[in-house]
Structure 1
Amino acid sequence: LGLTGAEPCRGAAAFRAPVLLPAALELVAMDDENFAVIDSGTGRDLVHLRYSGGRGSAGQQDTGGAIVLPRRDGRSSSTAVSQGMCAGASVGLPRLREKVESSVPWRKHYRDAMEEMSWFDAPERGHDCAEAGLEALGSILHFADGRTLSEAVIKDPGGDGGGVVAGAGAGGATTELPFANRLHEWHKDGLLQPGAYSALSEVIANPKLLQAEGITFVCLGAGAELSLARQLLQWGCDVAAVIRPSSERRAGLLGAAQSGTGRLYLSPEGASDVVDAPERVAGWIAELPGRLVIVDSLYAPGSAFLLAAAGADVVERLVCEARSDTMLAWIGSPTDAYRLAGEPRTALGSGALAKTATGFAAVRRVRPSRIGGVYPGFVDVQGPNYAAAKRIGRWRATVEWEAGRDVSFNVGPMSLTRSVTSNRTLKTAYAGLEQLGMPPLAADTSATLMAALLLWDVHHPEAAQHSNTFLTDKAIDCGFFSSPYEPNGLMELAVALGAGGGIASGIKRLL
């Protein structure tokens, strides 16, 4: 993990499954503090680790404001949170609630329950489910001092602040956007929704949309690989980065800020973690200048993602209470379940590929990509914590949208991040998906696309305000939404194609 013992550190390891010898294992860095031990053969994550250093001794930490998982039968339980919040969202829907509560074990059966819930908690149906789900989350999760999340209050961030870096470069928006010459092809191939194509085309035609004077973009998880912070800084925007002082990606943010014309605000040490100190993070954000746009691009493995999403929700709620003109933004996932209108394609690809996919889907009984009007995008490898974490942001977006707040929610593409390319199975699956006509994008391209869509939303807030399908209007879904089959069922075929290097070889491997 690179810990030398030269300074205090803390952390934990969660053991999910035993290693069956003989086995080849990989240690994968998900971000600066989160790691996973993965079986190279199956891609299954066996151990989750979270370690941090350079943050002072444990005795100096105010741990009372940290979010902790509830205990069930003496053990910390993320299931109590994810299943409990879904049951809470089902208030007034007895059939759905019974399905959620009877989904035992939750990790095995959550997909069916959350797919059905996606019909009821969609913005088209109003905000009742979303609001009830957030209320349940606020009562289930607690701070270390015993308070529930619903009792959170904004707190002084403490310290002298993390510093401000003013850019000295030429900065400004560039007319050379890396996706400009590929956008029409993506649109023709059905890799993005019409709303995304229209918005990005407008940005290409009018690069001034990449400028946002008087706005401070607050990036939660600014050190994440898919964070929008670096791209926004390169375009001359003001960015407030919630990032730990020990983060190895802090230097990259400083470099991006110095070469631009905007300003970079760095969070103070005591207000740099949405799980350990969300109330202090909110206090620091509320004091920032300009109109605030809070951008949630957080990610962590396993239950750490669930806690991070809950912490981000606390921050967003508290800041909105203190600064009523705050805009909120999220990046959604194509491997989630959404209520979608329209019919998908009847075949995946053409010629031999279409016959292969059709035959595979029939033999393996792969489900269609629409079930009762819902796109069932969950994949097993991500699990219920990922699904629940993403749902928290969607619920907050729905509640705030209903209340008239400016919101931005854009589904981002599958991306070749470090955690993906370090995992042999995922890397192979992504190579197979590209053969199936659903190519993932490079991480920096994805970040640029999502930053451009965010800035378009900032200049066109009415687009989301007037659309009850705003969650998926501008999705860059890599073709998943238009595929005739659900993503989870295609993963086995994708792995076979990726490993075999072609259709014939892939089918031979499957047989």
Structure 2
Amino acid sequence: MNEVVFPRGADGRRSSSELGRAVVADALRAADPAAADAAAAERDWRTGYLRHFRALVEAGLDGGYAIAAAGLESVRRRMVVEQPGGEVPLGSVFEAGGEPPATVTVTGEGKPERELAVPWRGEVLRGDALLRRLDAWVTAGSIEASCAEMVREVMANPDWLDLSGHRLVVLGAGAEMGPLPAALGWGATVVGIDLPRPELWARVAATARRGAGTLIAPGASVETAGVDLLGGLPGVARWLLDMPGRLVLGNYVYAPGAAYARLAAAVDAVAVHVMAERPETALAFLATPTDVFAVPGDAVAHATARFRDRSRAARLAHLFSAERLLTPNYPDGADPGIADSLVPQQGPNYALAKRIQRWRAAVARQAGATVSLSVAPPTRTRSVTSNRLLAAAYAGAHLFGVEVFEPATSNRLMAALLVHQLRNPRTAAPQTWKDEAFGAAHGGLWRTAYQPRSALGLAALRGLPAAVR
């Protein structure tokens, strides 16, 4: 046993709620002691967490780096690894080393793609067609102009798609949103890590064979490939450190419920350990659009104009709901605005896992590391559509100015943003929120007229017939 677990509380139980409450309070204390006290005093964390995650962004407008560092330190200090001889702190699990797994390699049989192409609604967009789609997305408010410009630069420099100088580590090799298919199509060497599930690895290996790159995975064969990061940290770390070339550690893992917070802590610990041994290592993350972000004033102005021009039906729904439905996304003139797109159904463990990733991106970039962090669009992934309410809300989201992307579109679009950020590393902005807002592909959540939670129920109601087909 070498399992990453939550610490025991005073009652002896391991509680994800206690961990989340404590970490958020510790993070807030670095910038807003009153907000920290409020988080620490929250009795019902499972339903009350929303306002405290918003407070992290509000307090972080000027103190974002301090909040990120304090939050990460709290996770490192509190999380533990359960071993046969007892518990050890998460950060110390690597001290004894570990036996690296065997390695299996799958070589692609295709020719490398040397032009950026993005699937969209049954078409494959490239060249002028892709440029027009980027313009249309910007006009619709689905992506930020900076996102479109990054993709245009990758299109203008197709040699950037050759990632032969990197070892792209895809933690979550089977993830629908991960860059593995795109990178293998471009001829990259991809180090894939995911759970030991034969059906998953059969699918990943088939993708590798169709591509032009090389897939490297832990295991003696494709049939036995995979490792559970929650129980195999020391061996995985040793295996990664033995890889030649410059590592790009890409975090695309997901797990349901409380396991996601544990997994986020585990992956963060691996990243810290590998970067300490190999400081040239780059990091890559996808930020979820269903979170809280500070956004620039032009996004606020766009959303505010849409609210002023809303339909009569929307005005009546707002009025007859005692102003609870279809409320404005921002106060008029806010700069920056707070785009609060948290979805209660995703829960506090999901919010904490994604916030750990954002914190690590901020701290690593400030320390001089190459970091790729992009806000991804709402996407019809299996993990999202398995929730009936979210599936229905996504089906009706277009009625409120939000575009939900298909996985193939998001996958290739976000891979292009990864390439751009590896080729053009940015130094840290004075405020963390400016880095997080740059290049965002939020699907319109930042520029919709309505505060997303105030439209969620109506979107689900309108989208339910399509979701249950």
Give TM-score, length-normalised by structure 2.
0.86
- Secondary structure of the residue that 1:264 maps to in structure 2? strand
The answer to whether the 8 Å contact 1:416/1:442 transfers is yes
CA separation of 1:214 and 1:356: change in aligned 2, threshold 3 A: same
- Secondary structure of the residue that 1:365 maps to in structure 2? coil
In the alignment, residue 101 of structure 1 is paired with which amino acid?
A: A
The answer to whether the 8 Å contact 1:233/1:239 transfers is yes
1:100 aligns with 2:39: yes
Whose helix fraction is larger, Structure 1's or Structure 2's? 2
By how many angstroms is 1:414 displaced?
Answer: 0.7
2:195 and 2:152 map into 1 onto residues whose CA distance is: 36
The answer to whether the 8 Å contact 1:238/1:262 transfers is yes
By how many angstroms is 1:90 displaced?
Answer: 2.2
1:370 aligns with 2:327: no
Alignment-derived partner of residue 104 in structure 2: 163
The answer to whether the 8 Å contact 1:218/1:292 transfers is yes
1:139 and 1:108 map into 2 onto residues whose CA distance is: 25
The answer to whether the 8 Å contact 1:216/1:293 transfers is yes
Aligned residues: 436
By how many angstroms is 1:398 displaced?
Answer: 1.1
Decide which moves more: 284-293 or 245-254. 245-254
The answer to whether the 8 Å contact 2:389/2:460 transfers is yes
In the alignment, residue 254 of structure 1 is paired with which amino acid?
A: A
1:357 aligns with 2:296: no
Alignment-derived partner of residue 346 in structure 1: 304
The answer to whether the 8 Å contact 2:393/2:463 transfers is yes
- Secondary structure of the residue that 1:75 maps to in structure 2? coil
CA separation of 1:147 and 1:174: change in aligned 2, threshold 3 A: same
Alignment-derived partner of residue 122 in structure 2: none
The answer to whether the 8 Å contact 1:330/1:393 transfers is yes
1:279 aligns with 2:234: yes
- Secondary structure of the residue that 1:330 maps to in structure 2? strand
In the alignment, residue 48 of structure 2 is paired with which amino acid?
A: H
Alignment-derived partner of residue 190 in structure 1: 141
2:239 and 2:272 map into 1 onto residues whose CA distance is: 14
In the alignment, residue 448 of structure 2 is paired with which amino acid?
A: S
Alignment of 1:121-136 (within 5 A): 121=60, 124-136=62-74
1:261 and 1:121 map into 2 onto residues whose CA distance is: 43
- Secondary structure of the residue that 1:346 maps to in structure 2? helix
2:92 and 2:282 map into 1 onto residues whose CA distance is: 23
2:137 and 2:95 map into 1 onto residues whose CA distance is: 44
- Secondary structure of the residue that 2:392 maps to in structure 1? helix
By how many angstroms is 1:444 displaced?
Answer: 1.3
By how many angstroms is 1:336 displaced?
Answer: 0.5
- What do you get for the CA RMSD once the two structures are aligned? 2.4
CA separation of 1:118 and 1:443: change in aligned 2, threshold 3 A: same
1:206 aligns with 2:143: no
1:259 aligns with 2:223: no
CA separation of 1:258 and 1:426: change in aligned 2, threshold 3 A: same
By how many angstroms is 1:270 displaced?
Answer: 9.5
- Secondary structure of the residue that 2:290 maps to in structure 1? coil
2:414 and 2:8 map into 1 onto residues whose CA distance is: 37
Alignment of 1:241-320 (within 5 A): 241-268=192-219, 272-320=227-275
Q: Which runs of 5+ in 1 are unaligned?
A: 1-62, 502-511
1:216 and 1:404 map into 2 onto residues whose CA distance is: 19
In the alignment, residue 40 of structure 2 is paired with which amino acid?
A: E
Alignment-derived partner of residue 470 in structure 1: 435
- Secondary structure of the residue that 2:51 maps to in structure 1? helix
- Secondary structure of the residue that 1:462 maps to in structure 2? coil
1:462 and 1:420 map into 2 onto residues whose CA distance is: 31
- Secondary structure of the residue that 2:199 maps to in structure 1? coil
By how many angstroms is 1:177 displaced?
Answer: 3.1
In the alignment, residue 345 of structure 2 is paired with which amino acid?
A: V
The answer to whether the 8 Å contact 1:430/1:494 transfers is yes
Q: Deviation per CA, 1:392-425: give whole Å up to 9, x if none.
A: 0111111111111111110001111123444443
Alignment of 1:406-485 (within 5 A): 406-462=370-426, 468=432, 469-485=434-450
Q: Deviation per CA, 1:196-252: give whole Å up to 9, x if none.
A: 110112223332222212101001111122222122111111100012332422122
Alignment-derived partner of residue 363 in structure 2: 399
In the alignment, residue 44 of structure 2 is paired with which amino acid?
A: P
CA separation of 1:389 and 1:160: change in aligned 2, threshold 3 A: closer
CA separation of 1:447 and 1:467: change in aligned 2, threshold 3 A: farther
2:80 and 2:210 map into 1 onto residues whose CA distance is: 42
1:160 and 1:396 map into 2 onto residues whose CA distance is: 27
1:301 and 1:361 map into 2 onto residues whose CA distance is: 34
CA separation of 1:359 and 1:409: change in aligned 2, threshold 3 A: farther
By how many angstroms is 1:300 displaced?
Answer: 1.6
CA separation of 1:473 and 1:157: change in aligned 2, threshold 3 A: same
Equivalent in 90, 101, 119 of residue 28 of structure 2? 90
Alignment-derived partner of residue 66 in structure 1: 3
1:322 aligns with 2:287: no
The answer to whether the 8 Å contact 2:400/2:455 transfers is no
Identity %: 32
Q: Deviation per CA, 1:470-505: give whole Å up to 9, x if none.
A: 11211111111112322112101101222378xxxx
CA separation of 1:164 and 1:126: change in aligned 2, threshold 3 A: same
By how many angstroms is 1:289 displaced?
Answer: 1.4
The answer to whether the 8 Å contact 1:84/1:140 transfers is no
Higher relative contact order (CA 8 A, sep 6+): 2
1:270 and 1:201 map into 2 onto residues whose CA distance is: 37
In the alignment, residue 304 of structure 2 is paired with which amino acid?
A: T
In the alignment, residue 355 of structure 1 is paired with which amino acid?
A: R
1:238 aligns with 2:189: yes
The answer to whether the 8 Å contact 2:101/2:236 transfers is no
1:276 and 1:160 map into 2 onto residues whose CA distance is: 13
2:411 and 2:419 map into 1 onto residues whose CA distance is: 12
The answer to whether the 8 Å contact 2:100/2:239 transfers is no
Decide which moves more: 200-209 or 93-102. 200-209
CA separation of 1:304 and 1:247: change in aligned 2, threshold 3 A: farther
Decide which moves more: 168-177 or 132-141. 168-177
